[in-house]
Amino acid sequence: MPALKAKRVIHFVWNTGWYRGVMLRPFWGEAFFILSVPGEYYKKEGITMNKQEQLDGIRNSAMEELNGISSLKDLDAIRIKYLGKKGEVTAVLKTMGSLDPKERPLVGKKANEVRGEIQEAIDKKTTELKAKKQEEELKAEKIDVTLPGKEVELGHKHPLSIVLDEVKEIFLGMGFNIAEGPEVEWDYYNFEALNLPPDHPARDTQDTFYITEKMLLRTQTSPVQIRVMENQEPPIRIIAPGRVFRSDAVDATHSPLFHQIEGMVVDENVTMADLKGTLEIFAKKLYGEDTKIRLRPHHFPFTEPSCEIDISCFKCGGKGCPMCKGEGWIEILGGGMVHPKVLENGGIDPDKYSGFAFGIGLERIVMFRFGLDDMRLLYENDMRFLEQF
C-alpha cells in the first residue's frame, strides 16, 4: 500500500472524505489520520508494489554478490542466477500475466531497469576481473631478457642419407637420372627378366621373402632397370637407389634390410671402357682424386662380360692396412655389360644397342667412408652414434 504523508493531505482534507481513492478519517486530538482503503485498490496496488519491491531486492542482492566475487567463473554463475533463462529477474517477468493490464507496464519497466543495472554491473566487473587476470599473467610470465637463450637443437642427416645424396649428386653431374620402383615386386621383374629363370642356380644364393608364389620383396633394385627399358627408348642413363630385402641373419656385415644403388646406361656403341671411365670418375669424386680402380673378372647372370670393381685403399693409399686387409684394394661394387637377353626382355634390340650396368651396396661405402666396422650401428638409432655426423 502506498504511503501517504499526513502533512500533504491535511491541507486538502479536514473532514472524512476521499483522496486519490483512499478514504481519510481525521482522528481528532492526534496528528495522524486513519486511512480506509477499499479492498479492490489494496489488491491491485499491493501486487504491483510487491513485484517492485521484489525486483529491488533482487537488484540489491545481485550487487552485494558482485562486490564479493573474485573470479570470472563466479561472475558467470551470478549472471546465470539473476539474468539466465531460469534466473530471478526472468522469473518475475514470467508472472506478469497474472497482473492487471494497467500494472504490467510498471512492473515491466522496473524489471528492465533492474536487468539493465545488473547487466551493467556484470560488464563492469568482467572488465575489472579480466584486467586483473591479465596483470597476474604478465607478472607470472615475466621474462628476464638478460638471461642467455636456450640453444635450439636442429636435426641432421643420417649417415646413409649423407652418402646417398653425395652419390646422387655425382651421377646427376654425369647426366644420369634417378629412377624408382616398387619394393613389393613380381618374380618376373626381380628374377626372370634379369636372366634368372625359376631353375637358375643363382636363385639359391638369394634367400628371398616371398609374399605369394609370384610376388616378393625385391632382393635388388635391378627390376627398376627392366621397368625403365619397357617405358623409355634409348639413350638411357639412370641410377636406381632404394631398399632391398634378403633373408640374412643380422651380424656386423649383413642385415635382412639394406640399400642398393643400381646404375645402367643403354645406347649405341656402349663399351666396357665407358663403364670403367664412369666408375673411375665416381670413385675419385667420392674418395678423392688420387683414388684408382681396377676391374676383376667375375660372373653375374644379368651381365656379360661381368666384373667386380675395387678401389685403392683411401686410408693407406694402396700400401696395405687393416682396413684393406693388407691388400691395398677394397671391393666396392660389381658390374658389366648388360646381357643381350636382358635387353630383349626390356624391349630393346641388342643388335642395335648395348649397355653397361653396375650395383653398389650403400651400407658398404658408408662404412668405408666413416670407418665403421659394424653396419648394425646404422640401424640402432643410438643418438650417441648419430650425433657424431
* SS3 track for 61-121: HHHHHHHHCCCHHHHHHHHHHHHCCCCHHHHHHHCHHHCCCCCHHHHHHHHHHHHHHHHHH
Cis? peptide before 235, omega within 30° of 0: yes
pLDDT of residue 154: 83
Which residues neighbour 306 within 8 Å (Cβ) at sequence distance 6 or greater? 297, 298, 299, 300, 334, 335, 336, 337
Average of per-residue pLDDT across 137-165 = 85
Q: Is residue 45 part of a domain?
A: yes
Tell which of 78, 108, 140 closes a domain.
140
Residues 287 and 361 placed together within one structural domain of the fold: yes
Strands 236-245 and 257-267: antiparallel
Q: Does the pLDDT at position 356 exceed 70?
A: yes
Q: Is residue 348 part of a domain?
A: yes
Residues 129 and 176 placed together within one structural domain of the fold: no
Q: Does the pLDDT at position 180 exceed 50?
A: yes
Residues 69 and 112 placed together within one structural domain of the fold: yes
Q: Does the pLDDT at position 30 exceed 70?
A: no
Q: Does the pLDDT at position 124 exceed 80?
A: yes
pLDDT of residue 17: 46
Q: Does the pLDDT at position 129 exceed 80?
A: yes
Q: Does the pLDDT at position 320 exceed 70?
A: yes
Q: Is residue 15 part of a domain?
A: no
pLDDT of residue 230: 96
Higher pLDDT, 339 or 3: 339
pLDDT of residue 44: 44
Average pLDDT, the chain: 83
293 - beta bridge partners? 311
Q: Is residue 191 part of a domain?
A: yes
Query: What cell does 260 get?
Result: 642398393
pLDDT of residue 186: 95
pLDDT of residue 37: 42
Residues 106 and 136 placed together within one structural domain of the fold: yes
Q: pLDDT per residue over 33-49, tens digit each? A: 444 444 443 344 445 56
Residues 221 and 338 placed together within one structural domain of the fold: yes
- Split at pLDDT 50, 70, 90, the class of 372 is confident
Q: Is residue 49 part of a domain?
A: yes
Higher pLDDT, 204 or 101: 101
Higher pLDDT, 22 or 227: 227
Residues 118 and 244 placed together within one structural domain of the fold: no
Residues 135 and 168 placed together within one structural domain of the fold: no
Reported pTM: 0.60
pLDDT of residue 48: 55
pLDDT of residue 342: 96
Domain range spanning residue 85? Answer: 38-140
Residues 64 and 203 placed together within one structural domain of the fold: no
Q: Is residue 26 part of a domain?
A: no
Residues 178 and 115 placed together within one structural domain of the fold: no
Residues 196 and 313 placed together within one structural domain of the fold: yes
pLDDT of residue 202: 63
The pair phi, psi for residue 245, each rounded to 5°, is -135, 135
Average of per-residue pLDDT across 117-137 = 86
Q: Is residue 1 part of a domain?
A: no
Higher pLDDT, 205 or 279: 279
CATH number where 302 lies = 3.30.930.10
Residues 163 and 134 placed together within one structural domain of the fold: no
Q: Does the pLDDT at position 142 exceed 80?
A: no
Residues 323 and 227 placed together within one structural domain of the fold: yes
Instruction: State the total domains in the chain.
Output: 2
Residue 314 CA to residue 53 CA, distance in Å, equals 102
Count each helix (H run) and each strand (E run) in the chain, helices first. 12, 12
Average of per-residue pLDDT across 75-104 = 79
Q: Is residue 14 part of a domain?
A: no
